[in-house]
Amino acid sequence: MNMMQSVISDDAWRVWEPLIEAVRPRGKTPPCNLRQTVSAIFWRHQNGAKWRSIPSEFGPWWTAAQLFIRWAKLGVWEALFERAKNRDPALGMVFLDGTDIRAHHKAAGAAKKGDSERAEAIVRHLVARVEALAARSA
């Protein structure tokens, strides 16, 4: 099993792909390797790592970072969360254990810039339930 499959299994991707396709922005160029890029984003949020720490199996780290930031600004993560929650109401009831969330060394109370704070919390919720949602629909 490669690292990508350990983040988003084939069963989970069959659930997530139509949800993502329904909310992702339509640009001139469709994202290539969307599963790989979303897996990189989920991996980063599962591990609390910096973007540059994303393993090379997920492709260039900057591709994942750019997609995450762009989708955060456009509200795509919120829309994806709402669609997933409508599909599985239990998703809205996700609680995260504080031991799973690592604070950045600069997290001393200063407000974050931009739209990524809420998007990061949403992605952590999505990551927490990605396999459970696939298991229920299989």
Reported as type and span, the H/E element at residue 126 is helix 116-137
Report the Cα 54 to chain-centroid distance in Å: 13
Q: Which amino acid is at 18?
A: P
pLDDT tops 80 at residue 104: no
pLDDT at 23: 93
Supply the range of the domain harboring residue 52: 3-137
Total of domains in the chain? 1
pLDDT at 77: 92
Contacts of 101 (CB under 8 A, 6+ apart): 48, 124
Q: What is the DSSP string of 17-34?
A: HHHHHHHS---SSPPTTH
The 10s digit of each residue's pLDDT in 50-79 is 999 999 999 999 999 999 999 999 999 999
pLDDT tops 60 at residue 100: no
pLDDT band at 95 (very low <50, low <70, confident <90, very high): very low
